């Protein structure tokens, strides 16, 4: 390491949430670092005191690390200090191997272990590659130390890198992903460490199969990787001359090697663990939710006794029994040209027993009746008036006068006492104004008639090319106008007045005609119209799903954003329970609050199980998205002509995509878990799901149970006794030179031993082959694709046709009819042979703009193999619901910096997996993991 001096980062700054442990031990260097140097590891912090801590706190360093540029070889630039992989490898071990040129010398022995880009470690895996990218720290690259507490209350702190929860000891460990050779030989352009796929089968079985391996196959339809018939002992009848020669040359060396191996005891069979169940997920969520389903679990003061009830809940907004203000026709004066008055005052003046009837005036401010400029509206809210005289304010004044003139005429024609319009019938106080905006649905419900006013801003006469129906369609694209039609009086026609048109003959349209004439989503909107008109009864779940689909289309057209949760607040008007508006909520958090407050038939739990299938969400990369100001809604277009406002809306409302890849509807899914609360950053607290850990670092020997037949029992007896018989025969012959009986007995033992040795490859494959009756459940994963034959050889040591392709488990799965024996037998197909290659139907770009990579999952419980695409390797499988006789397995990656499981993709697993998968407690879960800012990490082993 040279004479470089290192500065240990200090994290003694005061923390918002004090901790009761000594932070000095955060950076204890490993024992193998020489004295006088310091190379902190991202995995060396684990303290076992049982004190509560906030695992989501990010502590900034007050002193930057001073690192010598000679420690690592890099590609023409200095490695940033916030690169966690700079401290990853054992520098002493790698320096030693490089100085002795071990990789160059022994590359022929094992090209993967001694790969040119390999790093070495004392712990498994001993040879791996560092990632080519890392997660950059925020705030200009200033180093941040993240904290994590595992299920056993041990603490870990370090820089952000890819990790997983180890089911063996519960620690958060580095994520190593085993990779096929074709990918391992390329540059590692990921954020996880890669290692090569090792053969974990016993040498005894590998050597027994060696004579059959790499057997030449004449003119195969596919490579020998995909078949068994002519390349193993199962197809002896089809062997040709060159195959018999291949066997003959390898048979005797294999027998001799097996004899030597049988002398020493070997653990051939795997071990049963976890009582025959999958490896659990050692997870526990330690933090408070943002909003719990049970309010008493929230952080902060407890509510007063009696604040909860069946009809009164302080968490919900009060319903609006009557409008705050109305424009009364009989109260119009020169001092008050609008006639605005509190309805209660009008009621008291008319005897106190009659409620005023009114019409609801609906219009759109987008290009039709403009509002005053933002500065003027701000002045009105703060001082009550504004003297701004800009062009927009001038047009707004004329538009307002025209709107009220039409409204008065419509009210007289309808023979009502007043009309309501949001231009003057809502409070000017900012807090009350927000409540009024999201209570408009109550005002609509109480109106005697809905009147729509259309026109063009600043124009008292329409251009000849513009018709009333054109303006009405434009009005119908706005999100806030859509619920006004649904909630209007049932059976009452809606009148449409046009600015500059004939006030005596307004256009009248029934609600049933709106889907066909005004809206472009007639198929969905008509169902909702029928529901509110009483001709069709929708379930609670159907109502929310259909309404969400209609609102999503309108919000994506560029409706001006007031709050992030506007879509949910518009939907809130259709539901009975209305949570209070929270300006800090994101679009997803507002919807989650609304869903939890209402009996929506576990809508969120069902949404989690969907695999969204819609390429329209792949609009722009994260870098471009985050470069825009998401807090503004201007409707401007980018240079490429794409509407940035629509793109921003789709990014914020990604969760509204309910189009499942398998075509399932939400009501087709039966959830098995419960959302217990809402978390930060568009997450929920999920409880009761079934969970299992996926192993990515290496395959393991799988314990299997086969039927004990008489032939297998005799074969095992002879094979295990071969060394004893062989040496007994040799000793008997050696010590009985003059005894014919002794020589005969010794010769018999030798003959049995020699015959067994010569048949040992076949006998061993027979002992450990056969049909599998039971297995130890494992979930293995690797990056890339391999044939079933290769996978079986890596796990079991020889191809045995135990594994099969899952026919309908992922969006890459294929199946076909196999009529060789049964007429309609369903058979899973290799996705690559079925045409799912680099440009397959599953897509190559995720909904977050990240590149999708090819992964393969091996399930030893169902003995199936599934190929799928995801942005990063999922380390946890959560079974959250069932559909169509299959379980929906939500595949999640783990972000240890915030203890969150993020959905990467959704697979379908057989129901029998439930029997051997343990349940998991509360987990923090997110539907979409946004890619953080990435940095390039071209680290090479030190010289």
pLDDT digits (tens, 9 = 90+) for 345-378: 999 888 777 889 999 999 988 878 877 777 777 7
Residue 167 CB: number of other CB atoms within 10 A?
Answer: 17
Please, which pLDDT band fits residue 12 given cuts at 50, 70 and 90? very low
Q: What pLDDT was estimated at residue 882?
A: 96
Strands 825-829 and 886-895: unpaired
> pLDDT tens-digit profile of 546-568?
999 999 888 877 677 788 888 88
What is the predicted pLDDT for the residue at 306? Answer: 55
Q: Which two tokens stand for residue 937?
A: 């990490």
Distance, in Å, from the CA atom of 711 to the CA atom of 726, rounded to the nearest integer, reads 21
User: Do strands 358-362 and 340-341 pair parallel, antiparallel, or not at all (unpaired)?
Assistant: unpaired
Confidence of residue 842 (pLDDT cuts 50, 70, 90): very low
φ, ψ (nearest 5 deg) of residue 621: -70, 165
Q: Tell me the pLDDT tens digit for each residue of 708-724.
A: 888 888 988 888 888 88
Can you tell me the mean pLDDT for 91-114?
89
Nearest to 406 by CA among 476, 499, 493, 508: 499
Encode pLDDT of 578-611 as tens digits. 888 888 889 999 999 988 888 778 899 999 999 9
Query: What three-state secondary structure class fits 904?
Result: strand
| Residue 927 near residue 682 (C-beta atoms within 8 A) | yes
Please, which residues bridge with residue 498 across strands?
Answer: 454
What integer is the mean pLDDT of 815-830? 89
Residue 685, burial from CB neighbour count under 10 angstroms (0-12, 13-18, 19+): buried
Gap between the Cα atoms of 35 and 22, Å rounded:
23
Q: Summarize pLDDT for 54-92 with one digit per residue, the tens.
A: 333 333 333 333 333 333 333 344 445 677 887 766 678
Q: How confident is the model at residue 431 (pLDDT cuts 50, 70, 90)?
A: confident
Q: How far apart are CA 861 and CA 887, in angstroms?
A: 14
Mean pLDDT, all residues of the chain: 80
- Higher-confidence position of 320 and 490: 490
Q: What is the pLDDT of residues 400-420, one digit of tens each?
A: 889 999 999 999 999 999 999
With 90 as the cut, is the pLDDT of residue 850 above it?
Answer: no
Q: What is the mean pLDDT of residues 866-880?
A: 96
pLDDT of residue 184: 95
CA–CA distances in Å: residue 219 to residues 227, 236, 241: 13, 17, 14
Q: Can you tell me the distance from the alpha carbon of 849 to that of 928, in angstroms, rounded to the nearest whole number?
A: 11
| DSSP E strand boundaries for 673-778 | 674-679, 683-687, 690-693, 704-706, 772-775
- Coil, helix or strand for 712? helix
Model confidence pLDDT, tens digit, residues 304-347: 655 554 444 545 666 778 899 999 998 888 888 888 999 999 99
CA distance 131 to 336: 71
Q: Which two tokens stand for residue 379?
A: 């002045």
Q: Cis before residue 720, ω within 30 degrees of 0? A: no
Give the whole-angstrom CA distance, residue 758 versus residue 612: 57
DSSP SS3 for 765: helix
- Please determine, for residue 665, whether its predicted confidence score (pLDDT) is greater than 50: yes
CB of 672 within 8 A of CB of 622? no
pLDDT of residue 398: 86
CA distances in angstroms from 366 to 177, 596, 622, listed in the order given? 52, 33, 29
DSSP 626-663: HHS-TT-----B-TTS-BHHHHHHHHHTGGG---BTT-
Helix 740-767 / helix 710-734 crossing angle, nearest 10 deg: 150
Does residue 615 carry a pLDDT above 70? no
Distance CA 266, CA 930 (A): 48
233-242, 483-492, 528-537, 777-786: range with lowest mean pLDDT: 233-242
- The whole-angstrom separation of Cα 376 and Cα 829 is 66
Query: Which candidate, 905, 716, 729, 687, places its Cα nearest to that of 813?
Result: 905
Picking from 652, 491, 487, the residue whose alpha carbon sits closest to that of residue 573 is 487
Task: Give the number of other CB atoms < 10 A from CB of residue 629.
Answer: 10
Strand, coil or helix: 210: coil
Question: How many Å apart are CA 861 and CA 581, to the nearest integer?
Answer: 48
Residue 30's contacts (CB-CB under 8 Å, 6 or more residues apart) are: 41, 44, 90
Dihedral sign from CA coordinates of 115, 121, 123, 129: negative
- The answer to whether 585 and 628 are in contact (CB under 8 A) is no
User: What span, in angstroms and rounded, lies between the C-alpha atoms of 433 and 388?
Assistant: 21
Q: Per the structure block, which two tokens stand in for 630?
A: 């998401």
Which region holds residue 155: left if phi is over 0, alpha if psi is between -120 and 50, else beta? Answer: beta
What was the pLDDT predicted at 179?
A: 97
Enumerate residues 6+ apart whose C-beta is below 8 A from 634. 645
In the beta sheet, which residues pair with residue 702?
none
Output the pLDDT for position 565: 86
In this predicted structure, what is the pLDDT of residue 340?
92
Tokens 């490695």 belong to 79
Q: What is the mean pLDDT of residues 443-458?
A: 92
pLDDT of residue 727 exceeding 70, the answer is yes
Q: What is the pLDDT of residues 232-288, one digit of tens each?
A: 555 566 677 788 888 888 899 999 898 888 877 777 888 899 999 999 999 999 999
Number of H helices, E strands in the chain: 24, 35
Backbone CA torsion sign across 629, 635, 639, 640: positive
Q: Residue 85: its pLDDT value, please? A: 81
**For residue 688, what are its two tokens?**
């009761």
d(CA 654, CA 650): 6
Q: Which residues of 123-155 are buried (b: 16+ CB within 10 A; e: fewer)?
A: eebebbbbbbbbbbbeeeeebbbbbbbbbebbb
In percent, how much of the chain has pLDDT > 90? Answer: 41
Lowest mean pLDDT among 25-29, 102-106, 790-794, 813-817: 25-29
Listed in sequence order, the residues at least 6 apart from 836 whose beta carbon sits closer than 8 Å to its beta carbon are 812, 814, 842, 867
Model pLDDT for residues 884-908, shown as the tens digit of each residue: 999 999 999 999 999 999 999 999 9
Q: How far apart are CA 410 and CA 615, in angstroms?
A: 46
**Side by side, which strands form the sheet with 193-196?**
193-196, 176-179, 779-783, 853-859, 864-870, 804-805
> Which residue intervals of 370-439 are DSSP H helices?
374-383, 391-414, 430-437
The predicted structure's pLDDT at residue 318: 65
For residue 567, give the nearest of 539, 542, 541, 595 by alpha carbon.
595
pLDDT of residue 200: 94
Tell me what the mean pLDDT of segment 25-38 comes to.
33
Phi first, then psi, for residue 333 (nearest 5°) are -135, 175
Gap between the Cα atoms of 826 and 259, Å rounded: 43
Q: Which two tokens stand for residue 443?
A: 């005002």
**Strand duo 670-671 + 193-196: pairing:** unpaired
């Amino acid at each position: 390491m040279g004479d470089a001096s290192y500065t240990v980062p200090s994290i003694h700054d005061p923390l918002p949430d004090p901790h009761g442990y000594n932070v000095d031990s955060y950076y204890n260097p490993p024992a193998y670092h020489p004295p006088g140097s310091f190379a902190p590891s991202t995995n060396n912090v684990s303290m076992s005191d049982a004190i509560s801590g906030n695992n989501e706190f990010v502590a900034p360093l007050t002193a930057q690390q001073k690192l010598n540029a000679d420690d690592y070889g890099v590609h023409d630039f200095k490695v940033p200090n916030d690169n966690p992989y700079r401290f990853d490898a054992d520098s002493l071990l790698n320096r030693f191997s490089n100085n002795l040129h071990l990789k160059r010398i022994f590359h022929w022995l094992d090209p993967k272990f001694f790969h040119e880009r390999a790093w070495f470690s004392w712990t498994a895996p001993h040879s791996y590659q560092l990632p080519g990218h890392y997660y950059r720290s925020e705030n200009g690259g200033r180093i941040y130390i993240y904290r994590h507490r595992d299920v056993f209350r041990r603490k870990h702190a370090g820089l952000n890198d890819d990790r997983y929860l180890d089911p063996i000891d519960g620690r958060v460990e580095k994520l190593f992903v085993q990779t096929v050779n074709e990918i391992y030989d390329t540059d590692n352009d990921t954020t996880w460490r890669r290692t090569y796929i090792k053969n974990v089968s016993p040498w005894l079985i590998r050597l027994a199969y060696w004579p059959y391996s790499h057997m030449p196959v004449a003119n195969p339809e596919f490579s020998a990787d995909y078949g068994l018939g002519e390349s193993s002992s199962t197809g002896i009848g089809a062997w040709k001359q060159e195959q018999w020669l291949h066997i003959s040359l390898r048979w005797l060396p294999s027998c001799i090697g097996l004899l030597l191996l049988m002398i020493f005891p070997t653990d051939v069979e795997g071990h049963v663990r976890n009582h025959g169940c999958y490896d659990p997920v050692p997870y526990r969520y330690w933090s408070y939710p943002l909003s719990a389903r049970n309010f008493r679990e929230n952080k902060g003061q407890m509510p007063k006794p009696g604040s909860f009830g069946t009809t009164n809940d302080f968490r919900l907004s009060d319903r609006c029994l009557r409008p705050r203000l109305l424009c009364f026709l009989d109260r119009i004066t020169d001092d008050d040209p609008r006639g605005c008055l509190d309805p209660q005052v009008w009621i008291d003046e008319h005897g106190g027993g009659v409620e005023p009837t009114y019409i609801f005036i609906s219009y759109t401010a987008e290009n039709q009746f403009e509002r005053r400029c933002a500065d003027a509206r701000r002045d009105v809210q703060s001082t009550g008036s504004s003297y701004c005289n800009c062009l927009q304010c001038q047009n707004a004044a004329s538009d307002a006068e025209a709107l009220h003139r039409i409204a008065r005429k419509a009210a007289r024609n309808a023979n009502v006492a007043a009309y309501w319009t949001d231009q003057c019938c809502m409070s000017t106080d900012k807090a009350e104004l927000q409540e009024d905006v999201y209570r408009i649905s109550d005002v609509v419900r109480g109106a005697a008639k809905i009147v729509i006013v259309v026109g063009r801003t600043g124009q008292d006469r329409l251009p000849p090319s513009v018709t009333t129906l054109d303006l009405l369609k434009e009005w119908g694209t706005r999100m806030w106008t859509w619920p006004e039609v649904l909630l209007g009086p049932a059976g009452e026609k809606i009148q449409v007045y046009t600015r500059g048109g004939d006030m005596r003959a307004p256009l009248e349209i029934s609600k049933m005609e709106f889907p066909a004439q005004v809206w472009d989503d007639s198929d969905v909107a008509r169902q909702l119209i029928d529901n509110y008109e009483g001709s069709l009864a929708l379930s609670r779940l159907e109502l929310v799903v259909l309404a969400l689909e209609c609102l999503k289309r309108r919000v994506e057209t560029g409706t001006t954003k007031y709050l992030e949760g506007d879509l949910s607040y518009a939907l809130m008007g259709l539901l009975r329970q209305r949570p209070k508006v929270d300006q800090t909520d994101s679009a997803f958090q507002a919807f989650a609050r609304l869903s939890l407050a209402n009996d929506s038939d576990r809508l969120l739990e069902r949404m989690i199980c969907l695999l969204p299938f819609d390429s329209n969400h792949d609009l722009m990369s994260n870098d471009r998205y985050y470069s825009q100001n998401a807090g503004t809604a201007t409707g401007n277009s980018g240079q490429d002509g794409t509407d940035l406002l629509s793109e921003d809306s789709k990014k914020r409302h990604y969760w509204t995509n309910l189009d499942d890849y398998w075509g399932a509807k939400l009501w087709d899914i039966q959830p098995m878990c419960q959302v217990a609360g809402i978390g930060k950053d568009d997450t929920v607290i999920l409880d009761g799901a079934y969970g299992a850990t996926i192993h990515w670092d290496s395959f393991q020997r799988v314990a299997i149970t086969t039927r004990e037949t008489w032939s297998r029992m005799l074969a095992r007896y002879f094979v295990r006794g071969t060394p004893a018989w062989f040496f007994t025969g040799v000793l008997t012959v050696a010590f009985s030179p003059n005894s014919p009986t002794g020589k005969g007995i010794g010769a018999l033992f030798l003959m049995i031993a020699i015959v067994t040795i010569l048949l040992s490859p076949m006998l061993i494959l027979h002992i450990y082959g056969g049909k599998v009756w039971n297995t130890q459940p494992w979930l293995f994963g690797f990056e890339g694709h391999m044939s079933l034959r290769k996978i079986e050889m890596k796990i079991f040591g020889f191809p045995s046709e135990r594994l099969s392709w899952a026919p309908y488990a992922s969006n890459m799965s294929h199946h076909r009819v196999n009529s060789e024996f049964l007429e309609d037998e369903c058979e899973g197909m290799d996705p690559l042979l079925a045409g799912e290659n680099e440009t397959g139907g599953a897509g190559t770009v995720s909904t977050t703009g990240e590149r999708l990579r090819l992964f393969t999952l091996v399930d030893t419980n169902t003995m199936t193999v599934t190929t799928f695409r995801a942005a990063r390797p999922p380390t946890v499988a959560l079974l959250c619901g069932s559909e169509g006789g299959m379980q929906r397995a939500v595949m999640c990656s783990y972000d240890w910096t915030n203890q969150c499981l993020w959905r990467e993709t959704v697979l379908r697993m057989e129901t029998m997996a439930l029997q051997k998968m343990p349940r998991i407690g509360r987990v923090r879960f997110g539907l979409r993991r946004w890619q953080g800012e990435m940095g390039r990490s071209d680290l090479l082993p030190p010289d």
